[in-house]
Amino acid sequence: MSAGRLIVCPTPIGNLEDVTLRVLAALREADIVACEDTRRTRTLLQRYGVTGTLISYHEHNERERAAELIPRMRSGAVVALVSDAGMPLVSDPGFILVEACVAAGLPVEVLPGPSSAIAALVASGLPAERWRFTGFLPRKRQELADLLLTTTDTLVAFESPKRLPRTLALLAQADPARPAAVCRELTKLHEEVRRGSASELAAHYAEEPPRGEVVLVVGAAPEGPHDEDRALQALNTLVAAGAKPRPAAKVVAELTGVPANRLYKAHTQAR
Protein backbone atom coordinates (compact mmCIF):
# COMPACT_ATOMS: atom_id res chain seq x y z
CA MET A 1 0.00 0.00 0.00
CA SER A 2 1.37 3.43 -0.94
CA ALA A 3 2.03 5.90 1.83
CA GLY A 4 -0.78 8.24 2.65
CA ARG A 5 -0.42 12.00 2.56
CA LEU A 6 -2.13 15.32 3.13
CA ILE A 7 -3.00 17.57 0.20
CA VAL A 8 -3.77 21.19 1.10
CA CYS A 9 -6.28 22.47 -1.45
CA PRO A 10 -7.18 26.16 -1.83
CA THR A 11 -10.75 26.72 -2.98
CA PRO A 12 -12.45 29.67 -4.75
CA ILE A 13 -12.97 32.81 -2.68
CA GLY A 14 -16.22 33.51 -4.49
CA ASN A 15 -16.44 32.49 -8.13
CA LEU A 16 -16.52 28.68 -8.34
CA GLU A 17 -14.85 28.82 -11.76
CA ASP A 18 -11.60 29.82 -10.07
CA VAL A 19 -10.91 26.29 -8.81
CA THR A 20 -7.80 24.79 -10.42
CA LEU A 21 -7.57 21.54 -12.35
CA ARG A 22 -5.02 20.22 -9.87
CA VAL A 23 -7.34 20.87 -6.94
CA LEU A 24 -10.17 19.05 -8.69
CA ALA A 25 -7.85 16.12 -9.41
CA ALA A 26 -6.77 16.02 -5.76
CA LEU A 27 -10.35 16.09 -4.54
CA ARG A 28 -11.19 13.19 -6.85
CA GLU A 29 -8.17 11.23 -5.64
CA ALA A 30 -8.74 11.84 -1.93
CA ASP A 31 -10.14 9.13 0.29
CA ILE A 32 -11.25 11.81 2.75
CA VAL A 33 -12.01 15.50 2.24
CA ALA A 34 -11.60 17.41 5.50
CA CYS A 35 -13.52 20.66 5.17
CA GLU A 36 -14.50 23.61 7.31
CA ASP A 37 -18.16 23.44 6.30
CA THR A 38 -19.34 20.25 4.57
CA ARG A 39 -22.30 22.06 3.00
CA ARG A 40 -20.15 24.67 1.26
CA THR A 41 -17.61 22.11 0.08
CA ARG A 42 -20.34 19.79 -1.18
CA THR A 43 -21.64 22.64 -3.36
CA LEU A 44 -18.22 22.95 -4.99
CA LEU A 45 -17.85 19.19 -5.46
CA GLN A 46 -21.32 18.80 -6.95
CA ARG A 47 -20.61 21.62 -9.40
CA TYR A 48 -17.78 19.55 -10.88
CA GLY A 49 -19.20 16.09 -10.42
CA VAL A 50 -16.78 15.11 -7.67
CA THR A 51 -17.86 12.51 -5.14
CA GLY A 52 -16.04 11.79 -1.93
CA THR A 53 -16.21 11.24 1.78
CA LEU A 54 -16.51 14.57 3.57
CA ILE A 55 -15.79 15.15 7.25
CA SER A 56 -15.92 18.41 9.18
CA TYR A 57 -12.63 20.00 10.18
CA HIS A 58 -13.00 23.38 11.87
CA GLU A 59 -11.53 25.47 14.66
CA HIS A 60 -13.55 23.68 17.34
CA ASN A 61 -12.52 20.11 16.48
CA GLU A 62 -9.02 20.47 14.97
CA ARG A 63 -7.14 18.42 17.55
CA GLU A 64 -9.74 15.68 17.64
CA ARG A 65 -9.81 15.39 13.85
CA ALA A 66 -6.01 15.48 13.56
CA ALA A 67 -5.80 12.58 16.00
CA GLU A 68 -8.24 10.66 13.80
CA LEU A 69 -6.65 11.48 10.45
CA ILE A 70 -2.99 10.81 11.23
CA PRO A 71 -3.52 7.03 11.69
CA ARG A 72 -5.64 6.96 8.52
CA MET A 73 -2.85 8.55 6.51
CA ARG A 74 -0.28 6.22 8.06
CA SER A 75 -2.44 3.37 6.73
CA GLY A 76 -2.33 4.82 3.22
CA ALA A 77 -5.27 7.22 3.07
CA VAL A 78 -5.03 10.42 1.03
CA VAL A 79 -6.62 13.37 2.84
CA ALA A 80 -7.54 16.61 1.08
CA LEU A 81 -7.82 19.63 3.36
CA VAL A 82 -9.99 22.56 2.32
CA SER A 83 -11.44 25.61 4.05
CA ASP A 84 -14.57 27.53 3.10
CA ALA A 85 -12.60 29.80 0.78
CA GLY A 86 -9.00 30.44 -0.16
CA MET A 87 -5.93 28.75 1.29
CA PRO A 88 -6.33 26.65 4.45
CA LEU A 89 -4.26 27.85 7.45
CA VAL A 90 -4.35 31.50 6.26
CA SER A 91 -6.73 32.85 8.91
CA ASP A 92 -8.48 29.48 8.60
CA PRO A 93 -8.19 26.07 10.30
CA GLY A 94 -5.52 23.58 9.26
CA PHE A 95 -2.30 24.38 11.11
CA ILE A 96 -2.76 21.67 13.74
CA LEU A 97 -3.22 18.99 11.08
CA VAL A 98 -0.23 20.14 9.03
CA GLU A 99 1.88 20.33 12.18
CA ALA A 100 0.83 16.80 13.13
CA CYS A 101 1.67 15.47 9.67
CA VAL A 102 5.13 17.05 9.76
CA ALA A 103 5.76 15.59 13.22
CA ALA A 104 4.62 12.16 12.00
CA GLY A 105 6.81 12.30 8.90
CA LEU A 106 3.84 12.22 6.55
CA PRO A 107 4.07 14.03 3.20
CA VAL A 108 2.26 17.37 2.94
CA GLU A 109 1.51 18.60 -0.58
CA VAL A 110 0.34 22.20 -0.98
CA LEU A 111 -1.44 23.22 -4.18
CA PRO A 112 -1.49 26.83 -5.39
CA GLY A 113 -4.77 28.61 -5.88
CA PRO A 114 -7.05 31.53 -4.99
CA SER A 115 -6.12 33.90 -2.17
CA SER A 116 -8.06 37.03 -1.28
CA ALA A 117 -4.96 38.56 0.35
CA ILE A 118 -2.89 38.27 -2.84
CA ALA A 119 -5.78 39.38 -5.05
CA ALA A 120 -6.39 42.46 -2.90
CA LEU A 121 -2.70 43.37 -2.78
CA VAL A 122 -2.46 43.37 -6.56
CA ALA A 123 -5.80 45.13 -7.06
CA SER A 124 -4.93 47.87 -4.56
CA GLY A 125 -2.37 49.49 -6.83
CA LEU A 126 -0.03 49.85 -3.85
CA PRO A 127 3.61 48.64 -3.82
CA ALA A 128 3.85 44.85 -3.63
CA GLU A 129 7.63 44.39 -3.40
CA ARG A 130 7.45 44.29 0.40
CA TRP A 131 4.19 43.63 2.17
CA ARG A 132 2.84 42.27 5.41
CA PHE A 133 -0.24 40.14 5.98
CA THR A 134 -1.65 40.44 9.48
CA GLY A 135 -4.83 38.36 9.25
CA PHE A 136 -7.74 40.01 11.03
CA LEU A 137 -6.98 43.45 12.43
CA PRO A 138 -6.84 43.76 16.24
CA ARG A 139 -10.01 44.98 17.90
CA LYS A 140 -8.37 46.97 20.68
CA ARG A 141 -8.02 50.59 19.62
CA GLN A 142 -4.46 51.05 20.87
CA GLU A 143 -3.19 47.86 19.21
CA LEU A 144 -4.93 48.85 15.99
CA ALA A 145 -3.41 52.34 16.07
CA ASP A 146 0.06 50.96 16.76
CA LEU A 147 -0.19 48.59 13.80
CA LEU A 148 -1.54 51.12 11.32
CA LEU A 149 0.86 53.90 12.27
CA THR A 150 4.08 51.91 12.47
CA THR A 151 3.96 49.48 9.54
CA THR A 152 6.88 50.07 7.18
CA ASP A 153 5.52 47.77 4.45
CA THR A 154 2.25 47.63 2.56
CA LEU A 155 -0.24 46.14 5.01
CA VAL A 156 -2.87 43.58 3.96
CA ALA A 157 -5.54 42.63 6.48
CA PHE A 158 -9.01 41.20 6.84
CA GLU A 159 -11.53 43.50 8.48
CA SER A 160 -15.14 43.19 9.54
CA PRO A 161 -17.46 45.41 7.49
CA LYS A 162 -18.93 46.67 10.77
CA ARG A 163 -15.52 47.80 12.04
CA LEU A 164 -14.12 49.13 8.76
CA PRO A 165 -15.48 52.70 9.15
CA ARG A 166 -13.90 52.95 12.63
CA THR A 167 -10.57 51.63 11.35
CA LEU A 168 -10.48 54.08 8.46
CA ALA A 169 -11.46 56.96 10.74
CA LEU A 170 -8.60 56.11 13.09
CA LEU A 171 -6.12 56.01 10.21
CA ALA A 172 -7.48 59.24 8.71
CA GLN A 173 -7.19 61.02 12.03
CA ALA A 174 -3.48 60.21 12.31
CA ASP A 175 -2.44 60.19 8.66
CA PRO A 176 -5.18 61.53 6.36
CA ALA A 177 -3.06 61.29 3.20
CA ARG A 178 -2.04 57.64 3.69
CA PRO A 179 -2.98 55.69 0.52
CA ALA A 180 -5.26 52.68 1.01
CA ALA A 181 -7.69 50.43 -0.80
CA VAL A 182 -10.83 48.65 0.33
CA CYS A 183 -11.36 45.41 -1.60
CA ARG A 184 -14.82 44.04 -1.05
CA GLU A 185 -16.51 40.81 -2.22
CA LEU A 186 -13.57 39.85 -4.45
CA THR A 187 -14.50 37.65 -7.45
CA LYS A 188 -18.19 37.85 -6.51
CA LEU A 189 -21.09 39.54 -8.26
CA HIS A 190 -20.80 42.79 -6.28
CA GLU A 191 -17.01 43.05 -6.27
CA GLU A 192 -15.70 46.51 -5.39
CA VAL A 193 -12.18 47.92 -5.21
CA ARG A 194 -12.13 51.48 -3.92
CA ARG A 195 -8.78 53.27 -3.78
CA GLY A 196 -7.95 56.62 -2.23
CA SER A 197 -6.49 58.43 0.75
CA ALA A 198 -7.42 57.40 4.26
CA SER A 199 -9.52 60.54 4.65
CA GLU A 200 -11.37 59.94 1.36
CA LEU A 201 -12.13 56.32 2.21
CA ALA A 202 -13.15 57.16 5.77
CA ALA A 203 -15.60 59.78 4.52
CA HIS A 204 -17.09 57.42 1.93
CA TYR A 205 -17.65 54.46 4.23
CA ALA A 206 -18.96 56.65 7.02
CA GLU A 207 -21.79 57.54 4.65
CA GLU A 208 -22.10 54.12 2.99
CA PRO A 209 -21.28 51.28 5.41
CA PRO A 210 -19.83 48.31 3.50
CA ARG A 211 -21.29 44.84 3.23
CA GLY A 212 -19.73 41.45 2.64
CA GLU A 213 -16.16 40.27 3.04
CA VAL A 214 -13.51 43.01 3.17
CA VAL A 215 -9.76 43.03 2.63
CA LEU A 216 -8.09 46.31 3.60
CA VAL A 217 -4.76 47.29 2.03
CA VAL A 218 -2.84 50.20 3.56
CA GLY A 219 0.27 51.84 2.15
CA ALA A 220 3.45 51.84 4.22
CA ALA A 221 4.01 54.60 6.74
CA PRO A 222 6.33 57.23 5.23
CA GLU A 223 9.96 56.73 6.14
CA GLY A 224 12.32 59.45 7.29
CA PRO A 225 11.56 62.74 9.04
CA HIS A 226 7.94 63.92 9.12
CA ASP A 227 6.81 67.43 9.75
CA GLU A 228 6.11 68.11 13.40
CA ASP A 229 2.36 68.61 12.96
CA ARG A 230 1.96 65.17 11.42
CA ALA A 231 4.05 63.54 14.15
CA LEU A 232 2.01 65.30 16.84
CA GLN A 233 -1.18 64.12 15.20
CA ALA A 234 0.08 60.54 15.34
CA LEU A 235 0.96 60.95 19.03
CA ASN A 236 -2.50 62.34 19.80
CA THR A 237 -4.10 59.36 18.07
CA LEU A 238 -2.06 56.87 20.08
CA VAL A 239 -2.91 58.63 23.35
CA ALA A 240 -6.60 58.75 22.40
CA ALA A 241 -6.38 55.00 21.82
CA GLY A 242 -5.16 54.51 25.38
CA ALA A 243 -1.36 54.80 25.19
CA LYS A 244 0.54 56.74 27.83
CA PRO A 245 1.87 60.04 26.41
CA ARG A 246 5.56 59.74 27.21
CA PRO A 247 6.14 56.18 25.91
CA ALA A 248 3.99 56.98 22.88
CA ALA A 249 6.08 60.08 22.19
CA LYS A 250 9.22 57.94 22.17
CA VAL A 251 7.68 55.54 19.65
CA VAL A 252 6.56 58.35 17.33
CA ALA A 253 9.96 60.02 17.67
CA GLU A 254 11.75 56.85 16.57
CA LEU A 255 9.53 56.63 13.52
CA THR A 256 9.50 60.29 12.53
CA GLY A 257 12.73 61.86 13.69
CA VAL A 258 10.90 64.56 15.65
CA PRO A 259 12.39 64.75 19.18
CA ALA A 260 10.31 62.94 21.79
CA ASN A 261 10.55 65.76 24.33
CA ARG A 262 9.29 68.27 21.79
CA LEU A 263 6.35 66.03 20.91
CA TYR A 264 5.50 65.35 24.56
CA LYS A 265 5.64 69.06 25.41
CA ALA A 266 3.43 70.00 22.45
CA HIS A 267 0.93 67.31 23.39
CA THR A 268 0.67 68.40 27.03
CA GLN A 269 0.36 72.07 26.10
CA ALA A 270 -2.51 71.32 23.73
CA ARG A 271 -4.52 69.54 26.42
Amino acid code (one letter) for 156: V
As a 3-state breakdown, the chain gives helix, strand, coil percent values, each rounded to 5, of 45, 20, 35
179-184 β-sheet, strand order: 131-136, 154-159, 214-218, 179-184, 192-197
Domain ranges of the chain: 5-110, 116-218, 228-270
pLDDT of the residue at 167: 96
User: Which is it for the CA torsion 234, 235, 241, 243, positive or negative?
Assistant: positive
Q: Chunked in runs of 10, what are the mean pLDDT values of the chain (271 residues)?
A: 85 96 96 96 96 94 96 96 95 96 96 96 96 94 86 94 95 92 96 97 95 96 69 85 87 80 83 71
pLDDT of the residue at 268: 85
Torsions phi, psi for 215 (to 5 deg): -120, 125
pLDDT of the residue at 252: 84
pLDDT of the residue at 154: 97
pLDDT of the residue at 1: 42
Taking domain 5-110, whether its CATH number is 3.40.640.10 is answered by no
CATH number corresponding to 116-218:
3.30.950.10
pLDDT of the residue at 67: 96
pLDDT of the residue at 73: 97
C-alpha triplet 15, 18, 22: angle, nearest 5°: 145
- Are 93 and 62 contacting, i.e. CB atoms less than 8 angstroms apart? yes
